Structure formats: structure tokens, C-alpha cells
Copies of this chain bind each other. A is one copy, B any other.
Amino acid sequence: MAQQEIKIALCGAGNVGGAVLELLTVNADFYKKMFDTDFLVTDVVTKSGKLRGYKDKFNGNIHTDFESIINNDSIDVVIEVMGGIDDAYKVAKQAIESKKDFITANKAMMSLHGDELFKLAEKNNLFIGFEASVAGGIPIIKSLSSKARIENISWFAGILNGTSNYILSKMESDGIELKEGVKQAQELGFAEADPTLDLNGTDAAQKGKVLSYLAFGSKLDSSIELDIEGIDMVESIDFKFALELGYSIKPLSIGSYEKDRLILKSFPALIQQSSILSKVNDEMNAIEVFTKDSGSNLFYGPGAGPKPTASSILSDLFDIAQDNKVNYSKFGQGLMEISNDTFSCQRYLRLEVNDSPGVMAKISSFIAKQNLSIESVIQKEDFSQNGLIPIVIVLNECNENELEDLLNSFSNEKDLFKKIVHLRIFNPNK
């Protein structure tokens, strides 16, 4: 292969941008040897006008707006690591329209504008790299898209939000409550000052939506709304019951496609302690992918951090250098509707009830009335608080509508039930 030069503009100069700059500078000779290519960051766009991350040896231009790089024909690739949705979308669109390959770490933007951008890139014969947009340093975009082009994916289940996973892991290992877990995560830099999008499942669901595009061809636009449930209803006592039942509790994003039914949801779930996914702890991420022909594959690694994220961005850049430009537009089927109501699984219910005679009989009759059946019950007097006793009921499989009907029937009995916590049980082998 002949020697070539790739000129890069970097939009965003924070920690991730700095790590990209650092790796491309420090390893320049090695990358030149491996890819017969000089990778030159010629321009950086940053609102502040200053590099915050890596600064050494950067002799290129620094801009405060991105118009100047869009209009610069010598730039081959635009890397977007500035975050946010609207401006990032503008950069993406204008970069591609001005004939530049585009690399992004932005799942929020891609989950809303991916369809349009992939089509635009196809039209212009350009490449969009987004390896860094899901699960930081794990090569899940390349691995999943490769697999999806070989076999039908039945389902995936991902732990895609490191903050939530860290907090639930600490609640499990140290017996602390959510609030304390959030505080610890913030102190260690695993949670932002406002962790809302992490805790309520938005971040994980955006990533799941991107994976679902690759796995099943579902849409990446505003027509698919995120189906999310946050981790904030989980209490430390739930880990005690879960342990007794043989489960951990993890923040999952799942996608499945079978018989024209697409399921796409994010929620905290009980998963069997014998499963490898249940061993993904602290801030780590992992994605399990199941196909009928090949069974389970799992990809595990750091879900965030400047260097892991930068290494995924570089893997896209090196695809460009090798002219290995996947046309992601081909993945979109565009016809699927979400059938989340039909999602069926076992259920964990923790009911805080007044300690009065006949409580269990009453609960059982409600459940029987809805034609649902109980797999097991745990009642622990020694977990009682303020005269309330927690009763945990594991329901056999039922779908979301059936569960909702049951919860509604409970809600008519406010005297009896002081609190109802519902968690799904994810059992991939069923």
C-alpha cells in the first residue's frame, strides 16, 4: 500500500479529545508502520478556544466554531467528541455534506439521527464510525455488525451504563442504599454532578437503540421512543432477597426480535448468579449477544474513560485508513414496530404489608384473579420495619400488560400495600 496522509479535525477538546490527540501524537511512528498512513490532527474546534486535555506538541489550528473546518477541503475526517445533540448533529451533517468521513462518540445524537446520517453518508460514499458511542472501549459496534451480517441475532442484553452498574454493585457488595452509592460514584468520577440520565435509564436506552439498529435494523430516529425504567426503586434489601433466590441485580438494556416482534427496553433486572453477565461489576460494561446457530457471545470491558473511548475512535480512523468503510445504511429495515407490551418474563415483587392475619391469602387471591401464578414466596419477619413486613413473591412468566393489571388491582388496596417494588427477572435461557 502506498503511503498516505489523513488530515483530521477534532470537534471537542476535553478528556476524550485530548486522549485522541495524545495517542495519535505519541504512537505516530507505530501507526504509520501499521497503516502506511500519517494521521495528522490539523484542526481542533473548542468553544473555549483552549485545549483542556493533551496539549503537548500540537501545532495545528484551534477554532471556536466549526464552520471553518467544514469549509476546509483539505480535511478528510471529522471526529466529534463534543457531546450534546443539536450541535453535534449539525457538525455530522455538514461534515458529510462537505465530503468528509465522520467519527463520533455520541450515542444520544446517533440514536435520534442515525438513519438520516447513514443514508447521507451512503449517498456521498462516505463512512460514519461510531464504535465509541456504545460501551466505550468494547469493540461492540464492529463485533455486533459483523455478527448481524452472518447470522440472525435473537437477542442482546447489555450492561451499558457504568454509573448505574457501579452503584448497584456497591449496594450489593457493601449493603449501602442508592443515595450513598450515588455519592461514592460521584466522588470517584463514575457519576456526573447531575446523574439523572444515567440513573433513569436514558443513557443505557440510547445505547441499546443503537445496538438494536445493528442487530435488527430498527430505526434510529425519533419515531422509537425510549422505554426506560431507572434504578432508583432498588433498595439494599432487594439484594438480600435476590441473593436468597440466587440472583444479582443489574441495569440491563435488552433487545430481541422474533416473529416480527421487536422488544427494546432498559430496566434493572434480577439475573441468575450463575450467568456470566451477573459477574460484570463496578463501572464495567458488557454485552451478551445470542444467535440460534452460535449461542452466546459476551463482550466485556471499560464502558467509559478517555483512553478506552479514544482507542475505539482510533479503530474507526484505522478503518478509514484501510478503506474498510462499512455502509451502515444497509442495516436499516425501517419497518419494525416496538411490541414491548408482549415482553414476557418472571417477576420479582416486593410488597411491604401490614402485619395482619390473612394478608397472604388476600395477595394470593389477587394474583389468582389475574390468572397469574406464583413460583415462590419469601416472608421475613426479621426484615420488618415500622410494623410493615416485606413479602417477596416470584411470579411465573407474564407479559407487561398482565403485570400492569395486577399492579393496578393492588393499588386499590392502599391500606394493605404500603409499597410495591417490581423488578423483572431476566432469564436468557428461557
Contact = CB atoms under 8 A, between A and B. Distances in A.
Interface of A: 1, 23, 31, 33-35, 137-139, 142-143, 146-147, 149-151, 276, 279-280, 286, 291, 293-302, 305, 307-308, 311, 314-315, 318, 322-324, 326-327, 330
Per CB-CB distance, the 3 closest pairs between chain A and chain B, nearest first, are A297-B301, A298-B300, A293-B307
A324 B149 CA distance: 15
Contacts of A302: 294-297
A308 B330 contact: no
A192 to B, nearest CB: 21
A311 B151 contact: yes
28 contacts: A1-B327, A23-B151, A34-B149, A35-B149, A137-B294, A137-B295, A139-B143, A139-B297, A143-B143, A146-B318, A147-B311, A149-B318, A276-B279, A276-B280, A276-B300, A279-B279, A291-B311, A294-B302, A294-B308, A294-B311, A295-B301, A296-B301, A298-B298, A298-B301, A299-B300, A300-B300, A322-B326, A323-B323
Contacts of A34: 149, 330
Main secondary structure of the interface of A (DSSP, over half): mixed
B330 A33 contact: yes
Copy tally for this chain in the complex stands at 2
Contacts of A301: 294-298
Contacts of A35: 149
B150 A311 contact: yes
Contacts of A149: 31, 34-35, 318
Nearest to A310: B293
A281 to B, nearest CB: 8
A244 B408 CA distance: 48
A343 to B, nearest CB: 25
A314 B143 CA distance: 13
Contacts of A305: 294-295
A255 to B, nearest CB: 18
